[in-house]
Structure 1
């Protein structure tokens, strides 16, 4: 797979080469609407090495930290939801969950728009991380003054998501420039940041909330976020000169004309509708069904997040060596067996913990297969004569598909457990706990998320 990865610089100009070589670079001519240079005005550009070297690893480290801090906060919203629902002035409000849904869902759903805008204003794309981080910090500071739930939805939910989407976009935009042969591993390392933040942030924020209250917590986290992330934003920069990528069309929609994209996207959306459900209900399940204490029930989410750190990195390593549908199959088998067998037949907290580890390893690594999907769609686009397809836009639409699943899963899960169906039918197992329909739905959607493996065997991919 890796040998056929497409690097942007190979299409930038006939004289551009891969790696750290010194390249002659000629500015586009006048007919492209850009100022041209005479033949003797050529400049020499020395590109930093790809797939390694100080600059590439600093870029990846900065992306890892941005990933953890931008996405880790909405993934830790459960501690805020618990606090808001039991403390004034928001206690008893039925709309508290909307805050977390907006924060995560909007970041997913607006990804194509953010990617397209960065391509449209490519000269300024590098600095969007700083702009987005400033908006995030401002939104959290503003939310600390909230006295109504609508204020929190607008600030901690919507405005934070807009800032997060803007801050995160350059990480994806420039990843293909810095990593080619190790692209999957690089994405896996970056995305493991969310899992690590999912372990540390909930504990830290819960301690702050119960010690200082929500207003001081939000102001303190806003300041910490600014101090931690602004210096990192300067390492998130392009590897290629502006003119090498300025030819790429913003809002490239060529992928919509390729059946391969829709087959991958369908499986992606279906998998996402069930993926988030264990993260929402595992603590409640452990407490209400298995009688676990509050600390023991909270440990379920921590185990999922810890396991997903290793799962993302491992999947990134595999995606550089195996076909993407094979990697998706590995994720599918583990997630399906974990949900339908281990969780469904769990009768003790130990078995539930085992499920959490398995689910985090396999289901948590599903998105780390996206680099393989992006590469496959780019190749199929060229083979079909559609021309070059921007992989960052493919990522944007895959993220939007996951956002659809995230938004749908909330109200859908409420209907699945309404009245606790199947409760008492098999009292020794998870299926008879009242959460049986939720367990089945999680397992079935995980299974259908691996449909791309079957479609490839049928010649559809």
Structure 2
């Protein structure tokens, strides 16, 4: 029966109608279901009030790619800055902090990476609650201010506060809102979109080290930092304009228990452990290859090793990322992570002259570029988009302890070997392979069979 139709009582009664009536129980529940149905106009209004469909991804269009372009600029300014910190290890040891050990100097870069990742707990949560605009603005101001303070820093504690705390917190409030906003626009091409956007960090790792080193020679350290800060300020202005989430924020009250909920999911926990070990080892070539290159006699060419790694990683973050959309992001991440560890234990371990070191820098940059770029896509594939910022932040906060301990441990290994690098290279390779194994375990909990797209 249709209680919304005025002419229903005048319709002829046929055996088909009777059969239909017999199949419908005439209880209260059925009566309520019939009478509370809304006219189509009301359904359309409810749909409009509900906002965009979270499961309907445009996977393209001007606003989606405009967001990726803005994200490219913010990632260039944040993660790209952190990617070039290897040059500071060398510079500080030769100038302001020449009286400190390599391990002590390494704490500056290690803490900077740690803060970038750890503060994702807070920047990701704020993004989920209020959208990306305010976290991005706060991060932009803090990052630029920190760089300006580095330009006038002379003592260890001044450099540490400016670079490892103030600037680093700013980069965290730039990176996670960008990832969360971009994830709302893409699904089928998410890994490719993330790869293009995160390649900004690789380009930053190419441009910034060369630019800073040349500026230091021409105008001194202080003005080199100020000019860099103004360049990043211009990029961040564009990023603040372009980055927008497709979905409205869903404010939820803060609870400490919420931070532990994702880790109750075994695939997420295993992925987080894998990411931890990846970040123990992944940045060691960035931080130490310049020093090793100088010891191997590369002289002026050593300054270009970090830009070489980052230049190769641009291609590693874009083209293989598309394979993740085709064959599964977990599958591709596992392959490239294991290969990164293998070449560290083989090619880098044996490299002691110019050609092998350069070849390693290029191959490692390509392989590790994909690994570091695709992890957010792994998290997005097993997460509710309304919680993406928080869940990415939670995973990276856990992984941040890997970046915190990795570089100082490596520095201590180098010191214990009286400047030798073989132990550091073994440590790097073993950490990456261990990370890859845990990501395999995470994938196995999601699906069995290597032919399954995961």
TM-score (norm 1): 0.78
C-alpha change, 1:193 and 1:441, in structure 2 (3 Å) is same
Taking the aligned partners of 1:229 and 1:49, their CA distance within structure 2 comes to 26
* 1:449 partnered with 2:411: no
> Which residue does the alignment assign to 1:225?
232
- For the pair shown, the structure with the greater C-alpha radius of gyration is 2
- The within-5 A match list for 1:153-302 is 153-240=160-247, 242=248, 245-246=249-250, 251=258, 253-288=260-295, 290-293=296-299, 295-302=300-307
Shift of 1:46: 11
Tell me if structure 1 keeps the 8 A contact 2:270–2:442. Answer: no
Tell me if structure 2 keeps the 8 A contact 1:59–1:235. Answer: yes
Taking the aligned partners of 2:174 and 2:262, their CA distance within structure 1 comes to 25
Shift of 1:49: 7.5
Shift of 1:310: 0.8
Taking the aligned partners of 2:281 and 2:52, their CA distance within structure 1 comes to 48
C-alpha change, 1:127 and 1:352, in structure 2 (3 Å) is same
Tell me if structure 2 keeps the 8 A contact 1:311–1:364. Answer: yes
Shift of 1:44: 8.9
Taking the aligned partners of 1:55 and 1:152, their CA distance within structure 2 comes to 39
Q: 2:81 aligns with which of 56, 64, 73?
A: 73
> Which residue does the alignment assign to 1:51?
59
C-alpha change, 1:259 and 1:130, in structure 2 (3 Å) is same
- The root-mean-square deviation of aligned C-alpha atoms, in Å, is 3.0
Equivalent residue pairs, number:
400
Unaligned runs of 5+ in 1: 1-14, 16-22, 28-40, 380-387, 422-432
Taking the aligned partners of 2:159 and 2:83, their CA distance within structure 1 comes to 16
Taking the aligned partners of 1:453 and 1:116, their CA distance within structure 2 comes to 25
Taking the aligned partners of 1:298 and 1:265, their CA distance within structure 2 comes to 33
C-alpha change, 1:120 and 1:347, in structure 2 (3 Å) is closer
* 1:105 partnered with 2:114: yes
Q: 2:416 aligns with which of 409, 414, 419?
A: 419
Q: 1:316 aligns with which of 313, 321, 335?
A: 321
Unaligned runs of 5+ in 2: 1-37, 448-454
Encode CA deviations 1:278-312: one digit per residue, 9 max, x unaligned: 12221222222x3222x222232222111111111
Shift of 1:328: 2.2
Residue 153 of structure 2 aligns to a residue whose secondary structure is coil
Tell me if structure 1 keeps the 8 A contact 2:128–2:387. Answer: no
Taking the aligned partners of 2:134 and 2:353, their CA distance within structure 1 comes to 50
Taking the aligned partners of 2:330 and 2:49, their CA distance within structure 1 comes to 44
Taking the aligned partners of 1:46 and 1:400, their CA distance within structure 2 comes to 30
Tell me if structure 1 keeps the 8 A contact 2:266–2:442. Answer: no
